[in-house]
Structure 1
């Protein structure tokens, strides 16, 4: 389930408190007081077998005695009583319940786990949703509901706070109350027996009383649901996350470097980033970030201009920018000229723009206008230091006057001090201009804007088309299955490289030798110099046991090196069996960087791709980035950019830039390999050499297990579904390729609109469309295959000639469809075939209904809908639109 019956939680017609009490200090008494005092406008009924009256209201002995139906119940009973209470509530028509009791199977308590399951089983026949157990309840300020044990009712606001921790809920309420911060909802999830983060993100994404969402996360249970819901929510409003357990080790004992490096917290970071959310490390930063992002300011880059009347404050801001997610902007010639005319002759003539301690309000206004017009910065921080000769309030008014004509200009403010500055900050806050007490807080907030915008951009960035061939999946699978059939878990180096070669990942030529003499002969045939490595399924890291010899120039040297390796292994790992040696050419690429790339498995989010600086000291260096598959060119390049080695790959001194396209393609191919081969548990490519000539794998290791499910079901984000690709005939005898849409199809969608008659476009979009902007096209091409599906019809030329889509509700009950066929392709049966394909897909997903809105004048579409079995009726919202619905 997802949002089904959550309306009963947030907007109940009546509430029952089961376990209400008159005993001072009891949970039943605290919740009763909170419920009655919050001002809920509907009936509140109480249930307790031992009470006759509660707070001057008639009490009921049993749930079955309730005189009217209730949508929401708050249950404070002991755990063993809860399943029967839930069953009785469901039978009475209750659709949501808050369960506050703990001891439902924490840790390894089997008895509590069984009670929890009995509670869920009791709720299931009635589709009754449960918040908790082990939670403080929830608060909805707009509906005036305080169904919690919280010690205070927060002010009304537009931030929804969802927390997994009972204590954190109370702490945040107390902290926010002292600062005048209000909430739309405060929801304590507790043990997430039923309702979880994904459910609430789906609901809050469409909640018009919520402008921003704050999450306090300890763990995620359903990763795919969380990612789908999170990406939808983050597209509509800011989602800020604080995650507990940042320093936890995360990775268990792993056979590979990637397994050791991909700690759980790093994976959570990658998940939040991929969902378009902003993660902050500290509680204080949470509300700074919420305030900043809720202002509506959006940036186009990371360059900051600083305007100040005090040099010291400007220097502090620059220092803070050194460690923040941003950089100092530049001033162009036009801006310098404008500022020269408006400012004293001795102004700083650089960024920060120091307009001096005696700056009157007009000087602030003129300087701010100039900086907002400068293309060398993406945002402006206005600082004010209190002095005896200036008017701090007047300066603030001047700034606000400038912003009157630029309501969402990227301006942050910092008025230092307390007495006069406090009043100014309140004035800025009232006008939704972000304001802070210190320069470092302001710069940190700018960093939040930068990071948030970068994550949002990644959600909508159009990736380049693939530039490499389809892999030899059958060969890779044959190798992996052969290893498993032999009872082994680890592929040998030769086998691992063969798997990579099947995916067109360049590998150095490698051959196997059984004896030192074989190695010498092979080296002479291959061409000297060579590298020799031990071949043993018992050894994970060959260099740890002296199992690698480099730069061998003669066959005799190769044979001697092999004998040295045997002796070294016998001394350092006497139980290891030496199966032979691998011989490969000595690669000389003096400009190359040693990289690591690979795969690890996270217990929550499934497989992840890892990238960073490689070599023997890879775990000491600790330079790595993690990303959730699937990957495309944009995501792969962003992943690379998050590592320190990215600066070396960009080139320096006499080292030319590395072939970044080759590095990014390697990461994409690794992600594809991961989708195709669910048997792969871990993969190390270390080192992966990268220079201006491309990449090449020198060593690789793969760990495999029997697959428990197919590759894509393990992913937190459902990847591209190639099984839907097919050829379909048209009425004129031509064929087109039907396939799921890809993110890189954005230009193709724009082309369909451009080549279509304006009247056809109007019919598709239910109104005139003068242009088709990037964000709209990106949203239509970058879909969540877990919630949506879009099929495109592609001609042999590669041009898209039609597209059909469905978008399902979170409960997978019904979906809305939309279709467009390029004007020159009408009359060939393409529209009818696209509709039958998308309806077949909807049936296969288990959807119950598909509907669409069609303009009344669009006769061909209405006739086709009737032919397909849709029922046609006027829309209740717009007389010019007809609603068509088909039951599946």
Structure 2
């Protein structure tokens, strides 16, 4: 359940307070004061069996005595009474409740109360916020259903928090800074309404410009990712995640399991959802203020304009610390600034125009810097002096920033207090972000940079790997090992699985004895590596199970015999099955990398990349991402690590083949989706140089299907829906849409008549912009599905899609067929295909808005069993009950 009945929370007509009290200092007394004194225009009805009135408002002894049904109830009674209260409210017709009461956590005296609470609400579809929460505040509606110490002013920020203490602190911090809220929701234990539900609702809330989250844990990762992506597409979402400790990463089987800490996985999830993660409350509000201005950057290169060299140095240091780049000014820019300011200015970035720079110098220099193609944004700073006027300089900056055609952000930092306060006020009025210190100003710029990167990642939904892996071979290996009762694959089996997914591996031979190893060595020229073969030993080098640089059969036999003795002493319990013999790989210019898969308790499978070798856990140079991956996401993973600088080449070492690494990461992402039985996978080292990559060692741990398997947070490409059909004699392929289809979708629309485009999009649009095409093709396959029909040449001839409501019960459909391919049955086939998909998903109903002039689509809807309903003067709503049988024959369209 997601947004169902949440309108009763956010827009109630009447509110009841169960547990209202006159006892000073009690929760019931504070909530009553807040509710009755915050300006709510509807009735607030206190319920207290022992009081005639609460704060001069008539009190009612029982819920049954209320003169009207409340849409929203606030419950502040002892925990044992709450399930009964919820049952009464539900029977009365109440649709939402904020349960402030505590005592429902797993460690409570009666842990069954939490389930009793949910069971009481379920028959009535009554939504519960809490329990154990601060409450809910909607300043615009005058609702303060909380025991917070103040009511914030109305504004455009929505705050969703799992901590009541953080909510109270945020409200206290925001009041003197004149920060206003559209909504504040403290969800406490989140027994019912969770972060995902609220993201779904707030994404469509017109009063909310930005969403602020304080998150301690996520209960439904897939819902959170889907809702988060939808919300982040429409407005900034900024998040604080509590608990950065790595204590939860206790896996010992592989380096991957030890390195992929829960906090790193949350970080990866926020990036994929298009959110911006920050570190504290001050940064949370600063980031929201910056992002809600609508400023965007195209890159991370910053130009700095200042009248104080020291301030410029501080800004450069902050920029370097946060991973930004100092813009390299064009010679023409330096020449132009020299004509406008003192000849003694710095002649580089930062552009220090000296302490006596007048307002005119600020204006001319800023206009010039904004025109430099190497600068993605400009930070303007001012240090007050006795010979210049900071306010005049601020006015000059505002004038320069207002020049026509400006697209680059201008950020300001007027250092000081009394002498610069008027300048800051002017900046705020002009919509220019202003900050008190260079560090804060640079941090705001990097917020814009990180937010742009995360938005780019969010808009790239991965498609299948270019080379189809041999899933059947890999699955057979894993299945056989599980049937054998094993928890891990042997070295040869692990290599075979990797090969099936396109990972280059070292050619090796498995032997059973030292004598067999010697015989095999006769056919393998050059130095060899010998490794123990045991299903019970994960880290071979830890038990003396690796011998390197061995030459000749005799040396191999002796090394094998010595290895058996060493391993038997260290691991007498291990089953020793023989040895793996492989050539020594000599690639002196290669970097040792680690790649792998592990299972996160919340988000399911996770792919890891970083610096490998025996010291990989000590170095902790790693990046993680949620599968599936594409080339952009894989490359972004690589760029997050320190080893990326070495892979780029240095001194006599040429750059490594990054695309080969990308292909390995993409393959691992697909393996994670295809084989949920793989609990952990570790490639260490993966050698990478200019010739490509090679996996030297691999470990794979497996478990039975359903045994501790967490479903992926992001659905992979649903290739099971791909099929070939015959339409009017033409062989066509029907498949789910992919991000790479955006140009083909633009082409399809461009080859349709303006009238068909108008009827499809219900507006004055005549062409499909690349931006809209990107949004239509970049879907998450969970809440949306779009099926395209393409001919053998790859041209898209038609598309039909459904967008599923948050409750997962109904969906809106849309369809379009290229004008020259209409009247052949293609539209009917596509629409029936999405109806079949919707029915398989368990949806109850599919509906669409069809233009009244779109006779073909209306006729098709009639034949497929849709019912027409009036909508507005331009469109007709057609509704299909999926529990009825579909029409057997569809008309040609």
Aligned residue in 1 for 2:736: 740
- Partner Cα separation in structure 2 for residue 822 and residue 337 of structure 1: 54
Structure-1 residue corresponding to 2:486:
488
Matches within 5 A, 1:388-537: 388-405=386-403, 409-461=408-460, 466-468=465-467, 470-537=468-535
Q: Shift of residue 710 of structure 1?
A: 11
2:533–2:577 CA contact under 8 A, matched in 1: yes
Identify the residue that residue 15 of structure 1 maps to in structure 2: 15
- The superposition leaves residues 838-864 of structure 1 with CA deviations (integer Å, 9 ceiling, x where unpaired) of 111112222222222222222212211
Q: Is the 8 A contact 1:98 1:137 kept in 2?
A: yes
Q: Is the 8 A contact 2:46 2:54 kept in 1?
A: yes
Contact 1:460 1:775 in 2 (8 A): no
Q: 1:248 to 1:623 in 2, by over 3 A?
A: closer
SS at match of 1:113: coil
Residue 120 of structure 1: aligned partner? 118
Distance 2:345 2:510 in 1: 72
CA distance in 2, matches of 1:809, 1:381: 43
The SS at the match of 1:789 is strand
Distance 1:90 1:770 in 2: 50
Q: Which residue of 1 aligns with 2:103?
A: 103
Q: Give the one of 781, 787, 799 matched to 1:785.
A: 781
Deviation string, structure 1 residues 53-74 (Cα, Å, up to 9, x no partner): 1122221101011111110000
Equivalent position of 1:89 in the other structure: 89
Give the direction of change, closer, same or farther, for the CA distance of 1:812–1:405 in structure 2 (3 Å limit).
Answer: farther
Q: 1:150 aligns with which of 135, 148, 151?
A: 148
Q: 2:184 aligns with which of 183, 186, 199?
A: 186
Which piece of structure 1 moves more, 243-252 or 332-341? 332-341
Deviation at 1:222, TM superposition (A): 0.7
CA contact (8 A) 1:48 1:60 kept: yes
What's the counterpart of residue 808 of structure 1?
A: 804
Distance 1:756 1:80 in 2: 65
Q: In structure 2, what is the Cα distance between the partners aligned to 1:571 and 1:399?
A: 76
Q: 1:685 to 1:299 in 2, by over 3 A?
A: same
- For 1:465 and 1:580, how far apart are their aligned partners in 2? 38
Match of 1:721 in 2: 718
Q: 1:786-816: CA deviations, max 9, x gaps?
A: 1000001121222221111011111123221
1:247 maps to 245
CA distance in 2, matches of 1:677, 1:557: 40
How far apart, in 2, do the equivalents of 1:742 and 1:856 lie? 31
Which residue does the alignment assign to 1:49?
49
Q: What TM-score, normalized by structure 2, do the two folds share?
A: 0.96
Matched, 1:869 2:865: yes
SS state at 1:759 partner: helix
CA deviation after TM superposition for structure 1 residue 487, in Å: 1.5
Alignment partner of 2:523: what SS? helix
Q: Secondary structure at the match of 1:232?
A: helix
Quote the Cα distance in structure 1 between the aligned partners of 2:707 and 2:571.
36
CA deviations on 1:483-535 (whole Å, 9 max, x unpaired) are 11121111111111011112221111111111111112112223332211011
Does the residue aligned with 1:97 lie in a helix, a strand or coil? Answer: strand
Deviation (angstroms), 1:408: 6.3
Using the TM superposition, give the Cα deviation of residue 718 of structure 1 relative to its aligned residue in structure 2, in angstroms. 1.4
Q: Which runs of 5+ in 2 are unaligned?
A: 883-893
Is 1:687–1:697's contact at 8 Å kept on the other side of the alignment? yes
The DSSP-based 3-state class of the residue aligned with 1:714 is coil
State the partner residue of 2:172. 174
Distance 2:584 2:628 in 1: 34
Which SS does the other structure have where 1:686 is aligned?
Answer: strand
Look up the match of 1:292: 290
2:342/2:357 contact within 8 Å kept? no
Q: Is contact 1:296-1:408 (8 Å) kept?
A: no
Report the Cα offset of residue 344 of structure 1: 2.0
Whether contact under 8 Å (1:372, 1:379) holds in the other structure is yes
Deviation at 1:178, TM superposition (A): 2.5
5 Å-filtered alignment, 1:789-800, equals 789-800=785-796
- The count of residues paired between Structure 1 and Structure 2 equals 881
The one of 839, 842, 846 aligned to 1:843: 839
Choose the corresponding residue for 1:281, options 250, 268, 279: 279
Question: Structure 1 length as normaliser, TM-score?
Answer: 0.97
1:325·1:451 contact (CA, 8 Å) conserved in 2?
no
- DSSP 3-state at the match of 1:20: coil
SS in 2 for 1:270: helix
| Segment of structure 1 superposing worse, 824-833 or 613-622 | 824-833
Distance in 2 between residues matched to 1:315 and 1:431, nearest whole Å = 27
Deviation, structure 1 residue 887? 2.4
Distance 2:595 2:185 in 1: 40
CA distance in 1, matches of 2:370, 2:453: 21
Deviates more, 1:514-523 or 1:748-757: 748-757
**Which residue of structure 1 lines up, in the alignment, with residue 827 of structure 2?**
831
- Tell me how far apart the structure 1 counterparts of residues 460 and 353 of structure 2 sit (CA, whole Å): 39
1:730 equivalenced with 2:727 (yes/no): yes
The CA distance in 1 between the partners of 2:429 and 2:54, in whole Å, is 42
**Which stretches of structure 1, 4 residues or more, deviate above 6 A after TM superposition?**
462-465
- Structure 2 residue matching 1:178: 3-state secondary structure: helix
Are the aligned partners of 1:463 and 1:744 in contact in 2 as well (CA < 8 Å)?
Answer: no
Specify which of 315, 318, 340 is matched with residue 317 of structure 1. Answer: 315
| Counterpart in the other structure of 1:197 | 195
Partner of 2:888 in structure 1? none
Question: Residue 748 of structure 1: CA displacement?
Answer: 1.8
1:60 is the counterpart of 2:44: no
Quote the offset at 1:200 in angstroms.
Answer: 0.4
Quick one: distance in 2 between partners of 1:10 and 1:189? 14
Give yes or no for contact 1:458–1:634 (8 Å, CA) kept in 2.
yes
- Measured in 1, the distance between the counterparts of 2:363 and 2:461 equals 39
The CA deviation string for residues 266-319 of structure 1, in whole angstroms up to 9 with x for no partner, is 100001111000101122211111111112111000000000011111111111
Contact map agreement 1:325 1:448 (CA 8 A) in 2: no
Q: 1:817 is matched with which residue? A: 813
Where does residue 887 of structure 1 map in the other structure?
881
Residues of 1 paired with 2:407 and 2:820: CA distance?
43
Unpaired runs of at least 5, structure 1: none
How far apart are 1:320 and its partner, in Å? 0.9
SS of equivalent to 1:737 = strand
**CA–CA distance in structure 2, aligned partners of residues 446 and 421 of structure 1:** 21
Q: 3-state SS of the aligned residue for 1:811?
A: coil
